[in-house]
Chains A and B, each alone.
Chain A
Amino acid sequence: MTDAPLHMSVRLKRGDFSIDATLDAGPGVTALFGRSGAGKSTIVAMLAGLIKPDDGVIRVAGETLFDSQAGVNMAPEHRGVGCVFQDPRLFPHLNVAQNLKYGLNRVSPAQRADTFAKVVDLLGLDGVLERRPAGLSGGEKQRTAIGRALLSNPRILLMDEPLANLDAARKSEILPYVERLSADFGVPVVYVSHAMEEVVRLADTLVLVDAGCVKAHGPVEDLLARLDLTPLTGRYEAGAVLNATVAGHDDDVRLTRLNMLGHKLFTPRVDLSLGKTVRLRVRARDVALALTPPVGTSILNQIPVTVAQVELGSGPHAEVALSVMPKPSFGSAQAQTVLARVTRKSYQDLGLERGKPVYALIKAVAIDRHSLGGLGMGADQNKS
């Protein structure tokens, strides 16, 4: 606990707006998710030292950055916190190379050249090193911003909605870079976002923020499987996250077969090699239920599941949490959860009470490419 990458517990009050947040981040990517105005950016700004909390404690890798009791408030330049903001904030009077090197003095002289080359290579910035920010595209600017933060030898990387100002094409261009950051550089990342696809793709730990408070905190799969949290994660987009491995490709029909706990899942073709671990999100509204596996249907994925929990709201919907048990050959693995949204009528008609075995029907095409992310991906990645 003392040497956890990040431990923060802070409180802040400004007029009507107040923050009371406690969170711990492990190695890997921790996502701060919440609606706009929930306070996520403020929490990150406090971590960076740009805003002073009224009271609380912030510790990174065992070093105290802030402690109101002890009167410690480290200046931002000493914190070793790398920041990537929503707007790239590139220095307009310096070119890309100079921007990148701005914080390089925090890297030991012997390693500077190598680290620089590595980051430039990782982010594909070779061709634009001489250019000024004014001559860059949105995607290039943000990649430069990421590279610049990386090159300041941070102990922890903060990314505050770095993709929010980019269009869908740019986002999918940059997401893979961000995915590899934590793995390639071994630096923990705190990633702020209000877009679930990004969170699903990148995060190991999820912190749900609402009205300045941390409402839930834990592994991504667990939080997204909880029905009580769907109001925070977005009811319409609610869906569970599944981990699977690539079993093979059917190139003639452009599909990939995934192995999830021994069950077979078809998805549109992804450029991943065999055996690679994949994380995918399946929206609850894309999951139908059947008592027996239907035949002569277009739905390719039919997984045997057990009803774990049902939640009925005031409307016509019923939210169902279903447990996917590992096949015998996967005995030691943990069960995963799939969420389904059906009508109250179907819930009644099918008699969906706890423990009932049913089949989860998931359209292969509903598993969109954007939610397919690799855990610790290597050289091959999605090209969009």
Chain B
Amino acid sequence: MMDFLSPQEWAALGLSLKVSLWATLGSLPLGVGMAWILARRQFFGHGLVNAAVHLPLVLPPVVIGYGLLVLLGRGGVLGGWLYDVFGITLVFTWKGAAIAAAVMAFPLMVRAMRLSLEAVDRGLEDAARTLGAKPIKVFVTITLPLMLPGVVTGGVLAFARALGEFGATITFVSNIPGQTRTLPLALYTLTQSPGGEAGAARLAVLAVIVAVTALMMSELLARRVKAKAEGHIHD
């Protein structure tokens, strides 16, 4: 079974899982926050913010990767500051790969979360406020539990998207084995070499298995969460 893949390929798989997991978990709170801002707040520039969130869906991934390089590279606005103050480097590291994956997956996450947030009955939130709950308490005790299915869905979609992320990643953090050579990059490498078809096919099968497993697990989880929110399961 261990021979199904070469050691480098196992490394690519492991790296992909690590990068995607961190990308998803790290952006979950941001996704919830952004979903809330877009769903519940009217302000000047709302349309602009919404468009900005969706940019990774419509722009070529390489463009996003380049943007990340400009922003977060050592010579970049934010990246330079991060290095000078905290000694943090993101280019050429798995953390940079996680950020690239997170950025590309963000619109999918926000969309799913926003949808379920908008389905939460505002009358319930009003009732909670009249019962003396401050807006934060309302959010944590009422809104969040009721939008949880959307949070789960958003998280899974983001994870799946992160697993498949290629263009922005290779442009931002390049293709360094062990650090940034995720599964899609390893797959691409094989397709670009004459005679690499068999290896590419193996990796593709693996990617499909991982994705399907993740989706199935999340489906089960989402259903359970939904039933709990609707009051059909007891604690």
Give the nearest-CB partner of B225 in chain A. Answer: A93
When distances are taken between beta carbons in the complex, the residues of chain A under 8 Å from B133 are: 77, 102-103
In the assembled complex, 5 residue pairs joining A and B whose CB atoms fall closer than 8 Å, in A order, are A76-B130, A92-B229, A92-B231, A103-B133, A152-B131
Give the nearest-CB partner of A81 in chain B. Answer: B130
Interface assignment of A133: CB less than 8 Å from any CB of chain B: yes
Q: Are B231 and A133 in contact (CB under 8 A)?
A: yes
How far apart sit A77 and B124, CA to CA, in the bound complex (Å)? 14
A93-B229, A134-B231 known; A48+B130 contact, CB < 8 A: yes
A50-B126, A87-B123, A93-B146 known; A103+B229 contact, CB < 8 A: no
Q: Are B228 and A93 in contact (CB under 8 A)?
A: yes
Starting from the known contacts A80-B132, A92-B229, 15 additional A-B residue pairs (CB-CB under 8 Å) come to A76-B130, A82-B131, A83-B127, A89-B121, A89-B127, A91-B142, A93-B145, A93-B230, A95-B231, A95-B234, A95-B235, A102-B131, A135-B231, A152-B130, A152-B131
How far apart sit A118 and B135, CA to CA, in the bound complex (Å)? 29
Interface assignment of A68: CB less than 8 Å from any CB of chain B: no
Give the distance to chain A from B103, nearest Cβ to Cβ, in Å. 32
Give the distance to chain B from A41, nearest Cβ to Cβ, in Å. 12
Interface assignment of A171: CB less than 8 Å from any CB of chain B: no
Instruction: Please encode chain A, from 102 to 141, with 1 for each CB lying within 8 Å of some chain B CB and 0 for all others.
Output: 1101100000000000000000000000101111000000
How far apart sit A83 and B133, CA to CA, in the bound complex (Å)? 13
A87-B123, A132-B232 known; A50+B130 contact, CB < 8 A: yes
Give the nearest-CB partner of A75 in chain B. Answer: B129
Q: Are B231 and A77 in contact (CB under 8 A)?
A: no
Interface assignment of A149: CB less than 8 Å from any CB of chain B: yes
Give the distance to chain A from B120, nearest Cβ to Cβ, in Å. 10
When distances are taken between beta carbons in the complex, the residues of chain B under 8 Å from A93 are: 145-146, 228-231
In order of increasing CB-CB distance, the 3 nearest A-B pairs are A132-B231, A103-B131, A134-B231
Cβ < 8 Å to A, chain B residues 208-235 = 228-232, 234-235
Give the nearest-CB partner of A152 in chain B. Answer: B131
Give the distance to chain A from B27, nearest Cβ to Cβ, in Å. 25
Instruction: Please encode chain A, from 33 to 49, with 1 for each CB lying within 8 Å of some chain B CB and 0 for all others.
Output: 00000000000000011
How far apart sit A75 and B126, CA to CA, in the bound complex (Å)? 11
Interface assignment of B134: CB less than 8 Å from any CB of chain A: yes
Interface assignment of B82: CB less than 8 Å from any CB of chain A: no
How far apart sit A76 and B71, CA to CA, in the bound complex (Å)? 43
Interface assignment of A85: CB less than 8 Å from any CB of chain B: yes
Q: Are A132 and B234 in contact (CB under 8 A)?
A: yes
When distances are taken between beta carbons in the complex, the residues of chain A under 8 Å from B229 are: 92-93
Interface assignment of A11: CB less than 8 Å from any CB of chain B: no
Give the nearest-CB partner of B142 in chain A. Answer: A91
Interface assignment of B206: CB less than 8 Å from any CB of chain A: no
Most buried by B among A48, A78, A106, A132: A132
Interface assignment of A249: CB less than 8 Å from any CB of chain B: no
A77-B134, A89-B123 known; A102+B232 contact, CB < 8 A: no
Interface assignment of B37: CB less than 8 Å from any CB of chain A: no
Give the distance to chain B from A28, nearest Cβ to Cβ, in Å. 21
Give the distance to chain A from B113, nearest Cβ to Cβ, in Å. 17
How far apart sit A360 and B90, CA to CA, in the bound complex (Å)? 93
When distances are taken between beta carbons in the complex, the residues of chain B under 8 Å from A132 are: 231-232, 234
When distances are taken between beta carbons in the complex, the residues of chain A under 8 Å from B131 are: 77, 82, 102-103, 148-149, 152
Q: Which of A83, A130, A153 contacts B130 (CB 8 A)?
A: A83
How far apart sit A78 and B137, CA to CA, in the bound complex (Å)? 13
When distances are taken between beta carbons in the complex, the residues of chain B under 8 Å from A76 are: 126, 129-130
When distances are taken between beta carbons in the complex, the residues of chain B under 8 Å from A79 are: 130
Give the nearest-CB partner of B130 in chain A. Answer: A83
How far apart sit A81 and B141, CA to CA, in the bound complex (Å)? 20
Cβ < 8 Å to A, chain B residues 120-158 = 121, 123-124, 126-135, 141-142, 145-146
Q: Which of B132, B141, B230, B234 contacts A92 (CB 8 A)?
A: B230
Give the distance to chain A from B221, nearest Cβ to Cβ, in Å. 16
When distances are taken between beta carbons in the complex, the residues of chain B under 8 Å from A87 are: 123
Give the distance to chain B from A159, nearest Cβ to Cβ, in Å. 12
When distances are taken between beta carbons in the complex, the residues of chain A under 8 Å from B235 are: 95
Q: Are B146 and A152 in contact (CB under 8 A)?
A: no
When distances are taken between beta carbons in the complex, the residues of chain B under 8 Å from A105 are: 132
Q: Are B129 and A77 in contact (CB under 8 A)?
A: yes
Q: Are A91 and B124 in contact (CB under 8 A)?
A: yes
How far apart sit A105 and B129, CA to CA, in the bound complex (Å)? 13
Q: Are B127 and A134 in contact (CB under 8 A)?
A: no
When distances are taken between beta carbons in the complex, the residues of chain B under 8 Å from A130 are: 234
When distances are taken between beta carbons in the complex, the residues of chain B under 8 Å from A152 are: 130-132
Give the distance to chain B from A148, nearest Cβ to Cβ, in Å. 7
When distances are taken between beta carbons in the complex, the residues of chain B under 8 Å from A135 are: 231
Give the distance to chain B from A296, nearest Cβ to Cβ, in Å. 59
Instruction: Please encode chain A, from 141 to 184, with 1 for each CB lying within 8 Å of some chain B CB and 0 for all others.
Output: 00000001100110000000000000000000000000000000
Instruction: Please encode chain A, from 343 to 359, with 1 for each CB lying within 8 Å of some chain B CB and 0 for all others.
Output: 00000000000000000
Cβ < 8 Å to B, chain A residues 330-384 = none
How far apart sit A80 and B146, CA to CA, in the bound complex (Å)? 25
Give the nearest-CB partner of A88 in chain B. Answer: B127
Q: Are A89 and B124 in contact (CB under 8 A)?
A: yes
Give the nearest-CB partner of A102 in chain B. Answer: B131
Most buried by B among A87, A92, A148: A92
Give the distance to chain A from B228, nearest Cβ to Cβ, in Å. 6
When distances are taken between beta carbons in the complex, the residues of chain B under 8 Å from A85 are: 123, 127
Give the distance to chain B from A108, nearest Cβ to Cβ, in Å. 13
